[in-house]
Amino acid sequence: MRCTAPMGVLFTLVSLLELAVTLRIAAFNIRTFGETKMSNATISSYIVKILSRYDIAVVQEVRDSHLVAIGKLLDELNRAKPDTYRYVVSEPLGRSSYKEQYLFLYRPDQVSVLDSYYYDDGCEPCGNDTFSREPAIVKFFSPFTEVREFAIVPLHAAPTDAVTEIDALYDVYLDVQKKWDLEDVILMGDFNAGCSYVSSTQWSSIRLRTSPAFQWLIPDSADTTVTSTHCAYDRIVVAGALLQSAVVPNSVGPFDFQAAFGLSKQLAEAISDHYPVEMTLK
């Protein structure tokens, strides 16, 4: 049989093709991410190393209203090659003087942002809104994966309101469907969906859990915490037949950066008290 390329070259071409058509996505609660954390060279270097694993990363617990820390983070992510990453960031969100932002980091050579909006969860000054930090939703176009258009709904739920907020993500999904005529949606973040915040008896009252339209990719048995607790706080939930079928088997779970990088417990906890949760789309 005639062959025009060495077997090793063919394997290389196949590997490059596989890399080109997969998309790694993560949600990462970086505890109190701001100028102080980015000013620490050791901590910031590991944050950059972790986030560089992903084509899209949704960072929660961002406290950087002047975008100084985010600017430093982008400088580091783009140090080797300009424009490797771009970002979308929400306004500071919260009912009190304590506010957080959602930060979407993405590789523009892999995906593009089509649209974004804030979910309207009610009158915040009136005290009848649903979420402590309402989702800031982003719609992406991904030319290299089986699912070309999808939205990401982030949530960092208030611990004491976790059951109510997780349940309300069902309404957020319906809103996304109506606004963009879109079935394929990833809901992800620190839902505080475990241990004392969501008991085993409360799951039956959560529509996002009981509806067959949603697949929960991170199981209740997972541990997404860096500390000594064993809790599945951080979750990834996917909806839409095309999106669900595009999830690469065995690609989903927490990324234990402490074990991966051989870090001390003290340094790992200084980075965050949560591990990222990640998935890959084909």
Q: Are the C-beta atoms of residues 147 and 185 closer than 8 Å to each other? A: no
Q: Which of the following is catalytic: 76, 100, 183, 278?
A: 100
Per the annotation, the verdict on 274 as an active-site residue is: no
Q: How many CB atoms lie within 10 A of CB 167?
A: 17
For Cα atoms 36, 40, 45, give the angle at the middle one, nearest 5 degrees. 120
Secondary structure of residue 197 in the 3-state scheme: helix
Q: Which of the following is catalytic: 61, 76, 134, 156?
A: 156
Secondary structure of residue 112 in the 3-state scheme: strand
Q: Are the C-beta atoms of residues 28 and 59 closer than 8 Å to each other? A: yes
Secondary structure of residue 237 in the 3-state scheme: strand
Instruction: Say which residues have a Cβ less than 8 Å from residue 250's Cβ, sequence separation at least 6.
Output: none
Per the annotation, the verdict on 100 as an active-site residue is: yes
**Which alpha helices (DSSP H) does the chain contain, by range?**
7-20, 35-39, 41-51, 68-77, 162-180, 207-210, 241-246, 257-261, 265-271
Q: Sort 178 into a burial class: Cβ within 10 Å, 0-12 / 13-18 / 19+.
A: exposed
**Catalytic sites, residue numbers:** 100, 156
